[in-house]
Amino acid sequence: MAKLPQFCPQTGASKCGLSDQIVKQRIEKQPYVIIMTPYGPEGRYDDTVETIRKVISRKKIHQKGVRAILASEISQVGARYCLICQSCWFSTFGIAELGDLNNNVLFEVGLMYGFGKHVIFTCHRDFIDIRDLPFNISDYFVVPYRSSLSLSLPLEKRVEYILQLLG
């Protein structure tokens, strides 16, 4: 069984409280990328999520067995935080949309970096200008875009690069 974090960021406990069965399910889904985007009834980022899923399913990437899991679809009554944390822990890398500066997305990104994972940032130019972010991301993998077309190829190149880094 894979090792879980030795410290729970939520409770401060000295071990993760997730059951071995849930951990086994996550291990069986590896390798995967966790997609972190704001969500809501307006579906503002539906096209972004669809484009990311298409990029991950392209032959060069899909052949490596990588699949996409959307963070907003991870749920279980009373254990959502734990499942998000554990999904970040077992993910290969992440893709995070910075538009709207969503607190949940920023929290998930913090978990990813805390666990030593790579994160590709996407930033829809119609919703936020990179220069208006309250932090500097110039040294990170960033894909600013306005449409699915302008997101697709640069994102694919960054995903391929991360997969090369990870071997």
Cis peptide before 31 (omega within 30 of 0): yes
The DSSP output letter for 3 is P
Report phi then psi at 95, rounded to 5. -130, 125
Q: Mean pLDDT per 10-residue run, the chain (167 residues)?
A: 66 75 77 87 86 91 84 71 85 92 91 93 87 82 92 95 90
> How do the domains of the chain map onto residue ranges?
28-125+139-166
Q: What is the pLDDT of residue 78?
A: 58
Q: Quick: pLDDT tens for 40-64.
A: 667 888 999 999 999 999 888 888 8
Distance CA 97, CA 49 (A): 9
What number does CATH give the domain 28-125+139-166? 3.40.50.450
